[in-house]
A = this chain, B = another copy of it.
Amino acid sequence: MKIGLDIMGGDYAPEAAVLGAILAHKALSGPKLVLIGDKDIAVKILQENNYSPDNFEFVHTTEVIGMGEHPTKAIVQKADSSISVGFRLLKEGAIQAFSSAGNTGAMLVGSMFSVKTIPGVQRPAITSIVPQVAGGVGVLLDVGANADCKPEMLLQFGMLGKLLAEYVYKIKNPRVALVNIGEEEEKGNILSQAAFPLFKASTLFNFVGNVESRHLFDDMADVMVSDGFTGNIIIKLSESFYEIALKKGIKDEFFDRFNYEQYGGSPILGVNAPVVVGHGISNPEAIKNMVLLSKDILESGLIDQITQAFQ
C-alpha cells in the first residue's frame, strides 16, 4: 500500500511538506510514503534533518501548479507538475491515495480527470470538519467544490457525508441536517426549500431537519449539508474567528479545535480514490495529519462503501 504526497503543494512547500513527510513516516506503520516533486530538494531537506531518504520512494517532477493558477488549464498544460503526476500515479495504481496542500481546484479537477467520479455521483464534494462545543466533530459539505447546486446534489452530499462520518469518524447512524436560515421546513431559499422534501423522503440516512448556522457547533447533527458557496462562507468565517482569537492570545480549547493543523485537510468525496486537500498554509504537523487522514480513508474502505451506496 502506497500513499502519495505532493511535496510542492502549499505556501511553505517544499520545506513544510518534506518535514511533514518525516513526521508522517514516523507515525505510519505499513504504508509506504511516495514523495512527488523535486527529488533533489527533497533529499537535501531530508539530509539536513538527518532523516534517511531511504525511508521514502520518490517520483521526480519538474513543474509546480501555483496556488492562483486556473485549475483545468494548469492540470492540462503542466503535465509534469507534482499534482498532475500524482493523479497519474493514482490512476495507474502506483499509489492508492494522494494528498496535497496545493491548489484545491487543481486537486478537484485532477481527481475528476484521472480516477473519475464514482458512478452515480453527480458531483464530488469537498468536506470540512466542524468542531462541536461539547466535544467531537461534525462534517460539513460541500465547502467549495460546487458553488451552485441542485437539490439532488445536496441529497447526495448527505449520503457522502454520512458514509464519511460512519466509516472514517466512526459515528454510528450519523444525524444528517440541512444548513438553512430557519428550522422550519418551509424556510430558506429555493434550493433548500426544494431539498428539504427530498431529504425528508429519503431512507438513505438519518435526516434530522434544518440546522441554522447559529447551531453548527451545538451537536445538533453529525453531517451538515450545504451548497459549496454557503459551506465555503461558513468555514472561512469560522476560521477568521479562530484566527482573531489566536491573535488576541485567547486560549480556549474549543477555539483551538478550529486549528486546521489537527485535521489534516479536506477529503474530496465521490471520486474513485482517497484524495485529501490540505490548507494552503499547512505546516509540517498539518501535512502529517493530511497523510494520516488519507491513510484512514484508504483503510476504512470508504471508497468501496460509496461505490456500493451509489450503485
With beta carbons under 8 angstroms apart, the residue of B181, B227, B233, B254 that contacts A248 is B254
CB atoms of B252 and A248 under 8 A apart: yes
- Chain B proximity mask over A67-87: 1 for CB below 8 Å, otherwise 0: 000000000000000000000
With beta carbons under 8 angstroms apart, the residue of B190, B213, B230, B250 that contacts A240 is B213
Contacts of A56 in B (CB 8 A): none
* CB-CB contacts below 8 Å: A240-267 with B: 240-241, 243-245, 248, 250, 252, 254
Complex CA distance for A241 and B131, rounded to whole angstroms: 12
Q: Is A238 an interface residue (CB 8 A)?
A: yes
With beta carbons under 8 angstroms apart, the residue of B213, B227, B237, B248 that contacts A214 is B237
Assuming A214-B240, A244-B254, is B188 touching A147 (CB within 8 A)? Answer: yes
Q: Is A203 an interface residue (CB 8 A)?
A: no
CB atoms of A236 and B214 under 8 A apart: yes
Give the size category of A's interface with B: 35 or more
* CB-CB contacts below 8 Å: A177-226 with B: 179, 181, 188-190, 192, 212-218
With beta carbons under 8 angstroms apart, the residue of B213, B239, B244, B245 that contacts A233 is B213
Q: Is the interface of A mostly helix, strand, loop or mixed?
A: helix
Complex CA distance for A250 and B229, rounded to whole angstroms: 31
What's the least CB distance linking A186 to chain B, in Å?
9
What's the least CB distance linking A306 to chain B, in Å?
25
What's the least CB distance linking A133 to chain B, in Å?
6
What's the least CB distance linking A2 to chain B, in Å?
34
Residue from the set A148, A192, A212, A233 with the largest chain B CB neighbour count within 10 Å: A233
Q: Is A20 an interface residue (CB 8 A)?
A: no
Q: Which 10 A-B pairs give the minimum distances between C-beta atoms?
A: A147-B189, A214-B236, A213-B237, A181-B232, A213-B236, A189-B229, A214-B240, A213-B233, A241-B241, A148-B189
A residues contacting B by CB (< 8 A) are 133, 144, 147-148, 179, 181, 188-190, 192, 212-218, 227-230, 232-234, 236-241, 243-245, 248, 250, 252, 254
